[in-house]
Amino acid sequence: MADEKVKKKPHCSRQKWLTGGIPMFSRAAMYKRTARYMKKKTIIKKEKKPVEKFVVKEIGGEKNGGTRKVAVQKSPRYYPTQEGRRKLKNHRKPFKLHKRKLRPSITPGTVLILLAGVNRGRRVIFLKQLDTGLLLITGPFQLTGVPIRRVNQRYVIATKTKVDISGVKIPEKFNDEYFKRKFQRTGKKTKDIFDNKKEKHQLSDERKQEQKDLDAQIMPCIKKVHLLDKYLKNPFSLRSRQYPHKMVF
């Protein structure tokens, strides 16, 4: 019997748990129950040697005293009359675009329903996701009147209807810089006080042609599916006793 190995008991936690994963004992109570005060390590503090500010140097001669103290760091000869502003340390990290997540129900070619903006209620086709996380969509403009634009995925409903746009070539210049508006800034001196006309944003002929080229690629894909063009033309709306959270799109 003496040769037999003594089996160790399995470790059992002293914490007890209530329903919902709530601990029964607080941190202070567990500090006493587990006797953590016994496990504290004694920290030996090292004595810091004082930094010498002066160095003793020997001086020759009978009447010079033999030695004198010389400062290690010499004081500056010039002192400014006014103290300049001191730069503070900036602890902010440099701005980086983090990876934006996309809903699994939204894939290239998915038909979306817009919930906000001028074109709310319209059905559009999702093309791709941009670097800022916004969705690149189009009507197409030839069919629904919705041009190429950016939309936040919070303001769309993804439907189960999809269009095969694998053969459509989307230009790389359709990015966030492409959609920024450029206004002409005028100085305060040159601006007329009585001129109350506001600058209107006008599309260039180049952008209109790019919209036509994209529509020419998407329209044949839509016509392959029966009645899909009429489905995209018809705007989405709710009637009485219709609840969106109970509907399957």
pLDDT, residue 191, reads 55
pLDDT of residue 202: 79
By CB neighbour count within 10 A (0-12 exposed, 13-18 middle, 19+ buried), where does 115 fall?
A: middle
Give the residue among 207, 224, 115 at the shortest CA–CA distance from 167: 224
Q: Tens of pLDDT along 178-187?
A: 888 776 555 5
Q: What is the 3-state secondary structure (H, E, C) of 201-240?
A: CCCCHHHHHHHHHHHHHHHHHHHCCCCHHHHHHCCCCCCC
Q: How far apart are CA 163 and CA 224, in angstroms?
A: 9
At residue 151, the pLDDT reads 94
Partnered with residue 69 across adjacent β-strands are 56
Residue 115 CA from chain centroid, whole number: 23
What's residue 82's pLDDT?
81
Q: What pLDDT, on the 0 to 100 scale, is given for residue 194?
A: 61
pLDDT number for residue 1: 46
Rounded Cα–Cα distance for residues 143 and 234 (Å): 10
Low-confidence ranges of the chain (pLDDT < 50): 1-2
Give the model's pLDDT for residue 212.
92
Distance between CA atoms of 223 and 201, rounded to whole angstroms?
33
Provide the strand spans (E) within 96-155. 110-114, 123-129, 135-138, 149-151
The rounded radius of gyration (Å) of the Cα atoms in the chain is 38
0.95 surpassed by pTM: no
Q: Which amino acid type is present at position 211?
A: Q
